[in-house]
Amino acid sequence: MSKYPTKSDAAWREELSEIEYHVTREKGTEYPFTGRYWNYDEEGLYCCVCCGAPLFTSAQKFDAGCGWPSFWHPAETAEITENVDLSHNMRRVEVTCTGCGAHLGHVFDDGPAPTGLRYCINSAALKLEKNPAP
């Protein structure tokens, strides 16, 4: 059983902005270079906008030049799930929040050392905690 509360579709629609709902609940994608965190460098913990689960830290963020926030590794306490995504006639790996099932983005194998991974995440799926509790 999840430690995060489950919500109805109506509750998600009421709580989230239109773009947050589209990205996280309908597996949408925001336009590149438009999200609030694509070119953002303040320190903190990036959490799921829906349930607050920890996902990535600013220390793992890098500029991939793609227009979305990119991370080379999830946070140590990250609650993410990776699933094969065969949509749009492609084979990709979708990243979702384990806590609430929110669509976050995709992970690719073209990132920097030390992992070689690029977690390409929609800003609309994230909420930055600038001073997370230890």
Q: What is the mean pLDDT of residues 72-90?
A: 83
Query: Which residues are the active-site residues?
Result: 120
pLDDT by residue (tens digit) across 22-53? 999 999 999 999 999 999 989 999 999 999 99
Q: What is the mean pLDDT of residues 75-88?
A: 82
What homologous superfamily is domain 9-129 in, according to CATH? Peptide methionine sulfoxide reductase. (2.170.150.20)
Distance CA 79, CA 121 (A): 14
State pTM to two decimals. 0.88
At 105, phi and psi to the nearest 5?
160, -145
Query: Does residue 50 have a known ligand-binding role?
Result: no
Query: Does residue 48 have a known ligand-binding role?
Result: yes
Q: DSSP letter at 14?
A: H
